[in-house]
Structure formats: structure tokens, C-alpha cells
Structure 1
Amino acid sequence: MRNRLPAGDIREAGRALAERALDMPELAAGRTVAAYVSVGAEPATFPLLEALRARGVRVLLPALLPDNDLDWGEYTGPDSVRRVEHGGKMALFEPSGARLGPDAVTAADVVLLPGLAVDARGMRLGRGGGSYDRVLARLERAGARARLVVLLYDTEVVARVPAEAHDRPVHAVVTPSGVRRFPDS
């Protein structure tokens, strides 16, 4: 469904998503937020990244490593990201500055996660590369208490997604029409 969305709808969803997310107490109080730059038809994240930066929030962005783990760098504005091709399979927008290491994410108060869907239990369906599964495991090992928030379109909040033993529920999902919290996570 995402691939059929007009560019204007993607931009508008990004603006609405940013408004909803910025009203969340977790983001209002967060000093460091791990986020990502949307690609393709994902809900646009630049409006949210810019609003967080304008609030003085330290924003971390991922950089994909050869083993599918994620390193992190700081977002300081649109000029601080560059398009990076990964093996001809995909292109991502990654931080162009200094790398902080995979453990930098453990300092985040909130981790914004990409996904394809989230269900009524708060289980997130990712793209299958395992990058964010590693991030979530790293947070757990470090005893980090980051709030986990998925950014999706309204139609991507579904009754159930497949889950494996290592999957962990998120705390909330933000869509253009609102925020849904998952109390058991």
C-alpha cells in the first residue's frame, strides 16, 4: 500500500506524525532521541527530526554496518545526512559526521523505530534485516529504559503480526491520526 501513496500524502503524513509525536510526554522530556531518516514511502521523518532539533534535543541517526548492525551519528540538520548505497540493494540516508559506536543508542531516552506494522500487543513487524532487533537487544543488555515508539500510517496498526521469541513489544505507535500506547510493554 505504501508504494502507491502520492508524494504529497507522504509529506502530509510526516507533518501530522510530527505533530502527534511532539505532543508525547516522552518526546517533550527527552534529551536524546534515536531516530531515523525515512526512505521511499515510509512516513516522512524530516519534519519530526527538525522539530526535535529546534527544541534542543540531541538526535541520533543510524548508519548501517556490513553485518546489519547499526552505528550512530548525530543529526545537526539536513546537511548532516548523506545518501549511502548498501550493496546495490538499498540506499539509506545516514549521518555524515563522526560515528559514535553501536552502544550510543543506549543513551537515548526515546528510540523511534521504523516498521511495516504493529499489532494490538505492541509487537512490531520490521523489514526482516534484524538491525533493530539488535538495537533492542543492546538496550536490554545495557538496562536502558528508553521508550520505544514506532512511526506508521494509520492502516498499519493491525490485529496481529507474526512474532518470534526474541521480539519485544514497543511502548507506543504514532500515526498521522494519533498515538496508541501499549500498557503491557
Structure 2
Amino acid sequence: MTRKIALRDQLLTVRRRRPLAEVGEAARAIAAVLLTAEEVRRAATVACYVSVGTEPGTTVLLDRLVAAGKRVILPVLMPDNDLDWAVYHGPTSLAPARRGLLEPVGAPIGVDAIATADVVLVPGLAASRTGIRLGRGGGSYDRTLGRVPVGTFTCVLLYDDELVADLPAEPHDRPVTAAATPSGVTRF
């Protein structure tokens, strides 16, 4: 646990120092990489999230998914840190929420809606080459990934240097099946 906390602090410090131009370039590159991935091209419903700060950006990706005719669902953070979901209808369908997040303003569709997604795109700070994902420590996405049917394409969005050889893991940590970086999709 102590190792995870130290690693999170280190990764967040590196992210805060990224130039905004690099953040924007990475967002466009990750969108291009994902939109050409077979799993995303075939998907009818994609679960994603609205990036904040210097996270790998999702704005371009979200708009291009909608333009491609995909049903996009986004998380709504509940008081217990679990995630409900609502349909994304474009940038005007977002409103400020707790913790500096942007969330869809539509009616929530339930915590189990994640199980209807063909593709699940999640945030993270790093991922190991075995699919262990390091999040921010709230457990929201580990709970969510526990509701995703086995075999669903689950992918964390990262910068190239955040794909690492090894990460500490605990029993509650849920692995992902891939990582998308500006350089491409790595499947685990």
C-alpha cells in the first residue's frame, strides 16, 4: 500500500509537469489509435470518462465516438465512490460535478449499465504489461470493472511512459485487457 501511494505521487507529479501542447497531442493520438482499433470500430456502446487536468485527454475521442454513431456512456460519481452511468450527447450535455469532474446531465441508467458496453475505456496513472492498472486509489473503477462481463475489451488510457514492467497489486485490483497510448494499443 505504501509503495502504491508513493508511486501515485510520483506519477501525478510527472503528469502535472507535462506541457499542455503534449497533453493535446497525446489526446489526438490516443483518439486516432482507439478509433482504428477493431474492438472500438465494432462497438455499439462505449463506456468512457471525461478527462480532467493533465490526464490523457478524452474530449476529441468522445466527440469522434458520437460522430461515428456510437452510444457513449459516462460515469456519474456517487457519494460512496461507486459509479452510476448516463448517456453522453455531446459537450453541451456535461455539467460540473464534485471533485472537479464533468458529468453527463441526463438521467442515470444504473451502476450495472457498464455491463452493456462493448468497450470500456478507463482512466489510470499507469499499467503493467500484465494488465494491472494503478488508479487514484478510490476504488471506483475496480468496482466498476467487477461488473464488466469477461471478454469485454477494457482499456486504460495512458501516456507512453506510464506503461511499465510491473506494478504492486492487491486482491481487489481488477486487471484491464489493454492500454492505449499515443504510440498504439498494447493488449495484455
User: Scaled by the length of structure 1, what TM-score is found?
Assistant: 0.92
Give the paired residue count: 175
Of the three residues 67, 82, 88, the one matched with 1:69 is 82
* Gaps in structure 2 of 5+ consecutive residues: 1-13
**Match for 2:156 among 150, 153, 160?**
150
Q: Residue type matched to 1:103 in 2?
A: D
Alignment of 1:29-108 (within 5 A): 29-84=42-97, 86=98, 90-108=99-117
Paired with 1:66 and 1:130, the residues of 2 have a C-alpha distance of 13
For the 8 Å contact 1:32–1:109, the answer to whether it is kept is yes
Q: Which digits, 9 at most, give the CA deviation of each residue in 1:29-87, with x for residues without a partner?
A: 00000000000100110111111101100000001000000010111101011111x2x
The CA deviation string for residues 70-105 of structure 1, in whole angstroms up to 9 with x for no partner, is 010111101011111x2xxx2101001111111111
Structure with a larger share of its residues in helix: 2
Which structure has the highest strand share of the two?
Answer: 1
Asked if the contact 1:106–1:138 (Cα under 8 Å) also holds between the matched residues in 2, the reply is: yes
What RMSD, in angstroms, separates the aligned Cα atoms of the two structures? 1.0
SS at match of 1:138: coil
Q: Distance in 2 between matches of 1:93 and 1:7?
A: 19
- Pick one of 158, 172, 181 that aligns with 1:166: 172
Query: Are 2:148 and 1:135 equivalent residues in the alignment?
Result: no
TM-score of the superposition, structure 2-length normalised?
0.90
In 1, the alpha carbon distance for the partners of 2:56 and 2:173 equals 23
Structure 1 unaligned residues grouped into runs of 5+: none
